[in-house]
Amino acid sequence: MPKAIKKIGVLTSGGDSPGMNAAIRSVVRTCAYHNVECVGIYRGYEGLIEGDFQLLDARSVRGIINKGGTMLKSARSKEFREKEGRQKAFRKLSEASIDALVIIGGDGSFTGAMIFNEEFDFPVIGIPGTIDNDIVGTSNTLGFDTALNTVVDAIDKIRDTASSHNRLFFVEVMGRDVGHIALNVGIAGGAEEILIPEEDLGLDRLVESLNRSRKSGKTSSIVVVAEGDKIGKNIFELKDYVDQNMEGYDVRVSVLGHMQRGGPPSCFDRVLASRMGVKAVESLLEGKTNYMVGLMNGAMELTPLEMAIKGKTKINLELLRVSDIMST
């Protein structure tokens, strides 16, 4: 029979995403609701190794549900990748009488959590916090919905100036391995083309398609490019190629960058974070470990961490088709 859980630690790890604070708040309040102590661990696994802990009660997470970023800060930790680092972490947890961990982060963070669980039989539950929406076991990662709205708002603004000047804009959005952000904002932003890592359109076909769109009477265009797209070595080379191979377009580049990670979370992400925090804590209290909480068909479900980190979620092919039809 597993030891009763009296004290739960919570940390955020990897790139931050909107909704992480709302998830921390939910973890803390669910602990309070169940009369379990909750400890905030600063700077991810780094703070775990250093014992950078602080007891959190229901009041200490007031006013953070609508704040971007993470009050616990986040970091990447080389030391935690080594056995020795993880041993230090385990020692710190034992000293602080922490019985279980909630890890808010992406697949890298979950891999660490899984190894830690295996080595020390320490209860862990993951909450998927990343704007990339690339984690198996949940239809939405925390922050994805917010990032989509942030990017679409930026594209709307760029559209204003593009259509005032008959320009072609390449807009780079986040997504190193997967095109979820690009595909959604491309449709929502009315992009003429969407370039994603999963599909290599090829430069010739891109130019051909832009020429066709031009001839059909469009005088300005937006092409959404995922960071990890393979079509050019980078977005500036893409611009140069089009500049040299197309006439009559004034081509510009906009790299949206880190603003995509910030801002107040959307309603959806706040509610999702609140649900995930409850599910994570209550799963630990029920003796579950080594799972990730996720949203599946509208309900909170558990997925083994091992499955969550295996591969990336696939692009929805229906969306690709919708995008093609919309740019008719």
Q: Minimum distance from CB of 290 to its own copies (Å)?
A: 23
When the beta carbons of 69 and 304 are compared against its own copies, the nearer one is: 69
**C-alpha 166, offset from chain centre:** 34
When the beta carbons of 114 and 137 are compared against its own copies, the nearer one is: 137
Q: Minimum distance from CB of 323 to its own copies (Å)?
A: 8
113: buried, middle or exposed (CB in 10 Å: 19+, 13-18, 0-12)? Answer: buried
The Cα 31–Cα 26 span in angstroms is 8
Q: Minimum distance from CB of 103 to its own copies (Å)?
A: 16
260 is in an annotated binding site: yes
Active-site annotation holds for 132: yes
15 is in an annotated binding site: yes
Per DSSP, the residues of 262-301 read -SPPPHHHHHHHHHHHHHHHHHHHTT--SEEEEEETTEEE
CA atoms within 13 A on the CB side of 24: 37
Question: Which residue, among 243, 168, 153, has the nearest Cα to 203 in the 3D structure?
Answer: 243
321 is in an annotated binding site: no
When the beta carbons of 114 and 158 are compared against its own copies, the nearer one is: 158
In a 3-state reduction of DSSP, which class is residue 66? coil
29 is in an annotated binding site: yes
When the beta carbons of 109 and 184 are compared against its own copies, the nearer one is: 184
Radius of gyration of the chain from its Cα atoms, rounded to whole angstroms? 22
322 is in an annotated binding site: no
Which residue of the set 16, 99, 132, 269 is catalytic? 132
Q: Minimum distance from CB of 188 to its own copies (Å)?
A: 4
258 is in an annotated binding site: yes
**How crowded is residue 64: how many other Cβ atoms within 10 Å of its Cβ?**
17
When the beta carbons of 18 and 123 are compared against its own copies, the nearer one is: 18
Which position has the token pair 């007891």?
55
Q: Minimum distance from CB of 90 to its own copies (Å)?
A: 25
16: buried, middle or exposed (CB in 10 Å: 19+, 13-18, 0-12)? Answer: buried
What distances in angstroms separate CA 164 from CA 138, 212, 276, one per listed residue? 41, 21, 44
Q: Minimum distance from CB of 223 to its own copies (Å)?
A: 14
The Cα 63–Cα 264 span in angstroms is 12
Question: Which residue, among 57, 77, 71, has the nearest Cα to 20 in the 3D structure?
Answer: 71
Residues 6+ apart with CB under 8 A from 160: none
77 is in an annotated binding site: yes
Which positions make up the binding site for ADP? 25-29, 159, 190-192, 218-220
Which positions make up the binding site for substrate? 130-132, 167, 174-176, 227, 252, 258-261
Annotated catalytic residues are 132
Which positions make up the binding site for Mg(2+)? 107
Which positions make up the binding site? 15, 25-29, 76-77, 106-109, 130-132, 159, 167, 174-176, 190-192, 218-220, 227, 252, 258-261
